[in-house]
Every structure is written in C-alpha cells, then in structure tokens.
Amino acid sequence: MDERNTLERIHQTATTEFLEKGFQGASLRNIVKSAGVTTGAFYGYYSSKEALFAALVEPCAAAVMGRFMTTQTDFAQLPKEEQTAHMGKESAECVDWMIDYMYSHWEAFKLLICYSDGTPYEQFVHNMVDIEVEYTFRYIDVLRDLGHTVPELDRELCHMVASGMFEGMFEVLRHDMPKERAKRFIGQLREFYTAGWMKIMGQNS
C-alpha cells in the first residue's frame, strides 16, 4: 500500500510539474522533492525523466492511436461499393469516442498533446496526420476503381489539410474548453473539413 501511495505521489507531482513547465523545463529534482522521496527511491521506479513522462502518457497514447487505427482499417476493409455510403460515419464515431476519452483523461491527454516537446511523443499528432493522409489516398483509389473522377491531389496539400483538422480539434485542450462546447465546435469543424475534402476530391455535385 505504501509503495502504491509513493508511486501515486510521484505521478501527481510529475503531472503538475510537466503541466506547469513542459517536459523540457520540468525539473526531476523538483518532482522528487515534492513527492517526498529520495532520488535513489525514485530511480527504483523510473530510470529517467523520460521514462516517467512515458509512464504518464503512454496508456493514453496507445488507447487513442489504437482506436484511430482500428477506425481507419475497419473502413478500408469495407467492400469498395459500401465505402462511399459510410464516408464520415466511422470517423465521426471515433471523434466522439476521442472527445469522451480526452475529457476522462484530461491531464494525461494534455501532457501528450501540449507538453511533450523533447520526447518521442511530440510526433504523436504528426503520426496521426500521416496515417490520415495514407488512408485518404487509399479511399481515393477506391473512388477511382468505382468509376468516380478524382483530380490528382498533391500529398503535401492533403497533409496540410489533415494537419489543420487535427490541430484544430486539439485546440480545445489548449483553451481548456468545457466538454459540451468542445463537442459542438469539433462537430462543426468536422463538417467543415468533410465538405472541403469532398470538394477537392471532386465529389460535390
């Protein structure tokens, strides 16, 4: 019980330190001191500040990326002739889940998205964007196979559009937006980007 309480104190003081100063500015000495443990005791749990940060954000990162990848692959595995009817449905459900998860794991999610510079997690949103672009081009291939005319799209442009979408979604974290307001804004953002994707893919009538 005492060991669990010690670990909880380390996690809470570390979360506070990282949220105040970011990963790079955070002081391991301050974390250890605030948690009321010795440096030696700390190293019995984690080998470094990097390992501690990872312990705080990895469950969140894995859950979100796992759900995101499942959504992408499930859509891509639908029969080609069904994909156009499902366009946006699975992604809307994924975004709704992500909002709920984000607000249930607020501090960890905020560390992951806003305070991870200097760690491997600083590429988290970029990785999501790369995946989104990859599956967008797979969907374009499906549209062409189904006989739709889709103009040639530059991958860099698609990356810019997807990046704007994800960065816009995560603005709710940076502004500490209440959940219901965030859901409304993100819903409107999705409608905006979905219409934009359809337009540049030449699918608007």
Give per-residue pLDDT as tens, 99-136: 999 999 999 999 999 999 999 999 999 999 999 999 99
Lowest-pLDDT range, 54-68, 78-92, 120-134?
A: 78-92
Q: Is residue 133 part of a domain?
A: yes
Q: Are residues 7 and 97 in the same domain?
A: no
Give per-residue pLDDT as tens, 138-165: 999 999 999 989 899 999 999 999 999 9
What residue numbers bound the domain in which 182 lies? Answer: 56-200
**How many structural domains compose the chain?**
2
Distance between CA atoms of residues 52 and 62, nearest Å:
16
Give per-residue pLDDT as tens, 4-46: 788 999 999 999 999 999 999 999 999 999 999 999 999 999 9
Q: Are residues 130 and 196 in the same domain?
A: yes
Q: Are residues 31 and 86 in the same domain?
A: no
Average of per-residue pLDDT across 188-199: 90
Q: Are residues 125 and 27 in the same domain?
A: no
pLDDT at 204: 66
Lowest-pLDDT range, 56-60, 88-92, 179-183?
A: 88-92
For residue 14, give the nearest of 45, 102, 175, 125 by alpha carbon: 45
Q: Is residue 205 part of a domain?
A: no
Tell me the pTM.
0.89
pLDDT tier for residue 86 given thresholds of 50, 70 and 90: confident
Q: Are residues 187 and 105 in the same domain?
A: yes
